[in-house]
Amino acid sequence: MMKKSMIAFISAFGLSVFLMGCNQPGQQNEANEQQEQIDRFSFEEQQADKSVVVLLDGQPYTSYLYTDSLKKPVLFPLRTKGGHFVTRGWPVQPRANERTDHPHHIGLWFNYGDVNGLDFWNNSTTIPADKRMGYGSIRHSAVNETESNGDTGVLDVTKFWLGPQGDSLLREDTRYTFHVADDSSTSVELDIKLTALKDVSLKDNKEGVLGIRLARELEHPSDQPAKFTDANGIVTEVAQANNEGVTGHYVSSEGIEGDDVWGTRGKWVTLNGTIEGEDVSLVILDHSGNPGYPTYWHARGYGLFAANPLGQKELSGGKDVLDFKLDSGASTRFRYKVLIHSGSKLDAAAINDRFTEFNGQ
């Protein structure tokens, strides 16, 4: 009896060891996967500088800047994964051979040119004191959340749209979602909720709403006179621009190209160019749920890349009129996705795939 019991014990022990051994590889693989997941984005809030630095793999990717002097919060600068700037540095961090027009064009921003008669778009520190009552500003209120999860990072903030005497017209809650793809391309998705704190009218105006001010390399070549910075940041007026390395070219979802994109509607526009040997496609995707969809494009060869669904009368030559309004307490939502693809230039089929994915179709 004892011999049989011992055999049974040994057999049971051996079976349990075998089963434990069978489970170990799976458990080990799961543990390895957990260890291998790396949160690529991180955030450093610097309250003294009024900024939130966004890091990708420990390196600067962009920053959320909300200093009062900018008159609205912006993402600045935007870079490719390889570190090349796709946004102009002037006037925040000037670089050589940059245009010095439109000091309110900084990085990536969202605002509008006519909110209850106030101009939020063109406001800057250069506005003369006797004209400031005609301008509004957007004031950062709170960082609600930062989150890192693998290839994705989230920055959630609240802002208020203020009149020149400090009265609040709109509350803005914006969720920026940053993502890096397997091919090292990156994207910024904006989910913007505007809530009216009083009756608000956003009359048709060409100045709006989502804007990017481009690096010199992504402008269209031009032979027009302009003012540029030199290597020391000194502004010089030239009779004809130096177009060396200037390679930008707009293409819309409707097949319209170059400066002809301005004042047309489309689901997306891509700006193709080359920066120091790196091919780049900078794309803005519209969303079918946005007011005024499909958006009109306020895209200029000198370096302004903007989507404006609210300025329909101005951008269509009077063919369309929107005159968007929000009653007090009402909300509306805008969603956009900015793709920064580097290493090649995206074709229309590839962009349509990304548009379909973004729109959940």
Cis preceding-peptide flag for 309 (omega within 30 of 0) = no
Cis preceding-peptide flag for 77 (omega within 30 of 0) = yes
Q: What is the pLDDT of residue 22?
A: 46
The torsion region of residue 245 among left (phi > 0), alpha (psi -120 to 50) and beta comes to: left
Q: Are 265 and 223 in contact (CB under 8 A)?
A: no
Q: Are 218 and 86 in contact (CB under 8 A)?
A: yes
Mean pLDDT for each 10-residue chunk of the chain (361 residues)? 41 40 51 68 96 96 97 97 94 93 97 98 97 98 98 98 97 98 94 98 98 97 86 78 93 98 98 96 98 98 97 97 98 98 96 97 66
Amino acid identity at 258: G
Please tell me the pTM assigned to this model: 0.89
With residues binned 3-state (H G I as helix, E B as strand, rest as coil), the percentages for the chain, rounded to 5, are 20, 40, 40
Q: Are 101 and 116 in contact (CB under 8 A)?
A: no
Helix (H, G, I), strand (E, B) or coil at 225: coil
Q: What is the pLDDT of residue 342?
A: 95
Give the tokens for residue 27: 């458990």
| C-alpha–C-alpha distance, residues 48 and 46, integer Å | 6
Amino acid identity at 132: R
Burial 284-298 (b: 16+ CB within 10 A, else e): bbbbeebbbebbbbb
